[in-house]
A and B are shown apart, each in its own frame.
Chain A
């Protein structure tokens, strides 16, 4: 019995078009890399949502990272993507060219080790990411506390994906039939948080892995649900995701961080969608240590429609700047900077 195929669910009729959104940068890149849009052709429209943590970091927050880079004795440690994000003050890459100490690390543990090896310097880690990444930094902060490391600091820029999913589901001008849900976020959170989306907003949610086959399987499950007119949360990535998620990781997030309102580039302010350090861990706050004032960002990127692209309203090719003024070499908005941003993936692969 072919249980895993569109044939058993009924074939997709020519007139039927389903629109599925993925909200994970790694999915964005994988879909483009495997040419899946061309394989699925017109019946299934895949759109990219706000799944790239660099893309949704606000201008003001990026300005903060640059101000920190300019502080005396500071070593900025970061994941690679943050280096080229443009903001009003320039970019970390430009700061590096002017001699600031900015280093790309693979793991936040490497940043902590740097703090131990450089006691006279202040090591700042840029905490960008979603629920997959925040527990790591929580763990590192606890280790730093245990070891009494006094020169390690974090700028928490973490965001939570579920408030954004709800925000998107509520929007009237969006036409999304279902969500391809991020597999690795779900390893941490489990499948329960998606139930609001499927029950209240009637959008099927399928938690999907990252190989081409995983994505195809995820799409097949979404189509099958639409055909049957149901909306459930399904785990297609069963080999890694359990419905309860990773309890230990979730507890670590709660222990070190508290939820706060957060500004998402392109979407605006979303309530309870960001993480900040709890009071007892403020000693690790880079903003407090360097007395960073609230940065007001009045910088508007003229013509840039990153925001609308993040909502899935437009394709990168709809943007007047795409490929002409805005290229991976000279990015205007973050959707082009990050290698997993929708515009960057489109530029490279389509």
Chain B
């Protein structure tokens, strides 16, 4: 449950932020989190930032898929 998407805070005005999701921007409420700063990445759910998030490292995830594929091959031996 709970579609939440990461975005970067571009502007802050009181308890609202302009968040950039990567080509798509929206005003988001900061009412649920503390100490947000410009440049922070936040998870946004239905117009609210619910928490801060670290940027995902693309390299790690690719490695994981490869490892899983190898493990599955080993299963078949």
Contacts and interface: CB of A to CB of B under 8 A. Distances in A.
Interface residues of A, number: 53
> How many B residues are at the interface, by size bracket?
20 to 34
A5 B1 contact: no
B45 A4 contact: no
Contacts of A132: 1-2, 4, 45, 50
B64 A184 contact: no
B68 interface: yes
A106 B46 contact: yes
A61 B32 CA distance: 28
Contacts of B50: 132, 135-136, 184, 187-188, 246, 249
Main secondary structure of the interface of B (DSSP, over half): mixed
A12 interface: yes
Interface in A72-94: 79
Given A41-B75, A246-B51, 14 more contacts: A5-B67, A6-B68, A7-B67, A25-B1, A26-B1, A109-B47, A136-B46, A182-B1, A185-B2, A188-B51, A217-B64, A220-B68, A240-B43, A252-B32
5 contacts: A109-B48, A136-B48, A184-B4, A187-B43, A240-B53
Interface of A: 2, 4-7, 11-12, 14, 24-26, 39-41, 43, 51-53, 79, 106-110, 129-130, 132-133, 135-136, 139, 143, 182, 184-185, 187-188, 211-213, 216-217, 220, 238-242, 246, 248-249, 252, 340
